[in-house]
Amino acid sequence: MGFGDMVDKAKDAVGSNKEAVKGGIDKAADAADKATGGKAGDKIDSGAEQAKKIVDEQT
C-alpha cells in the first residue's frame, strides 16, 4: 500500500466519522490546555479550529 492509498483510506475513515474526529480534536485540545495550565489556550484553540476546518475541507 502506497502513501496515496493510505491517505485515501484515512479520508474515507474520517468522512464517515467526521463529527467523532472533530470531537476528538476538541478533547485533545482540552487535554493540551489542561497540561499547559491554560498558558497556551489561545494557540491550542486556534490549532484545534484549524484542524477541524481541514477535516471539513478534506471530506
Residue 44 has pLDDT above 80, yes or no: yes
Q: Is the dihedral of CA 30, 54, 10, 21 positive or negative?
A: positive
pLDDT tens per residue across span 13-32? 777 788 999 999 999 999 99
Confidence of residue 3 (pLDDT cuts 50, 70, 90): confident
Average pLDDT in the chain: 87
All 3 cell numbers of residue 21?
Answer: 474526529
Confidence of residue 11 (pLDDT cuts 50, 70, 90): confident
Give which of 24, 35, 29, 20 is closest to 48, Cα–Cα: 29
Task: Name the phi and psi angles at 45, rounded to 5.
Answer: -60, -40
| Helix or strand (DSSP H, E) at 34 | helix 18-35
Rg, Å, the chain Cα set = 14
One-letter amino acid for residue 21 of the chain: V
